[in-house]
Homo-oligomer: A and B are copies of this chain.
Amino acid sequence: MRHVLALQCIHCGKQHDPGDVDYYCPLCGYHEGILDVLYDYEAVKAEMDPVTFSAGGPRSMWRYLPLLPVAEPERISHLQVGWTPLYRASRLAETLDVADCWVKDEGRNPTASFKDRASAVGVLKAMERGASRITCASTGNAASSLAGFAAAAGLPASIFVPKRAPEAKVAQLLVFGAQVFSVQGTYDQAWELCMAASSHFGWYNRNCAINAYLIEGKKTVALELVEQFRERGAFPDWVVVSVGDGCTIGGVWKGFKEMQRIGWIEKTPKILGVQAAGCQPFVTAWREGKRLTPCEADTLADSIAVGHPRNFVKGLRAVTESGGAYVAVPDQAILEAMTTLARKAAVFGEPAGATGVAGVQEARRQGIIGPDDVVAVIVTGNGLKDIASAIRAAGLPVPVDPALDAVRRVASP
């Protein structure tokens, strides 16, 4: 961690030595005491000069090593994570009525979601700490990416899932060899049990909200956007991302701020946070009073169905500091966005992945985004992760008898 200066509590402001704390500020506890990794930005700048940097480095998130909290780079996974494609999607821009639209396809990561960036760092930190095992509570992308990166490192993983977890998502964890505990209770009980087990057994805890290092992996998507846009000679007015517990949008914003700080960009983009209408604590807080009111989660976009976001402060700051906005979109708009994204940009996203596209439409409707604006949408997960929703979004095939005449009667021109 050559350039890491300290871990600073976002609640009390105290700076801790990385050797002294494991996860959160001991003074403020894990609900409030979320830490932020501080770097020596002058030293980083010397190694990441915008003019000379682009040519070299691996085509993965690890090209940004000077800005990552890595002590033992020789432990970096063989899995190629990050440096996902950035597509210019002109036909999508037309549909959304914006000047230009770019799509960052995070579904191309090793286990097919954005969360791989965080798990890559989480497993690496566990190895550096000499952990015997890594753990998390999740049935979603955090769990599958953890299982994949743990398998890559040969590090045992224990994952806590609620008993209602879909069989298919559990299967993926088991294929990677994780020990999966099916907790006979709610998701909250699975989460608390994971915390207790982590503490009792000394298992390394991969939970983005209480582990400051994971957001460092997430921010790399912003570093990449800055570099990829520089290559294309463009830059977005808005960066759009769906929001669950606030870690992802918080990471995105941290990445842009750091790139500004080391001289890559003069101006940061505005951040548009998009939530499902059935679960919009950030939207409510941003619109009405800036305080968190936890809610029930009722949306098919499971990856962002978080009624009690654990990284509320960072998630809200991303929008307020950037001069951005929060919007909410109904599930029907999310399903329609899945087909719009697939048909106009050829990217198949899971519901939470396509939510950003629906968010751009809503922000246009509200006049938040204008027709002359350039937007970049981060598609956070692959549509193959949730085939049930794809079936709901897709419509039906045309039945035909096996005869050319039958086709002639119904074929599109």
Contacts and interface: CB of A to CB of B under 8 A. Distances in A.
A383 B78 CA distance: 19
A412 B348 contact: no
Count copies of this chain in the complex: 2
B200 A163 contact: no
Contact-size category for A: 35 or more
Contact of A394 (B171, B184, B348): B171
A214 to B, nearest CB: 19
Interface string A168-205: 10111011110111111100011011001100110000
Interface in A331-384: 338-339, 342-346, 348, 382-384
Contacts of A181: 397-400, 407, 410
A342 B183 contact: no
Contact of A158 (B85, B338, B411): B411
A16 interface: no
A19 interface: no
Contacts of A407: 181, 193, 196-197
Interface string A28-40: 0000000000000
A222 to B, nearest CB: 20
A74 interface: no
A346 B110 contact: yes
Nearest to A189: B402
A89 to B, nearest CB: 8
Interface in A133-166: 133, 148-149, 151-152, 154, 156, 158, 161, 163
A288 interface: no
A111 interface: yes
A59 B84 CA distance: 12
A334 to B, nearest CB: 13
Nearest to A183: B402
A161 B396 CA distance: 12
Contact of A87 (B78, B189, B344): B78
Contacts of A170: 394, 397
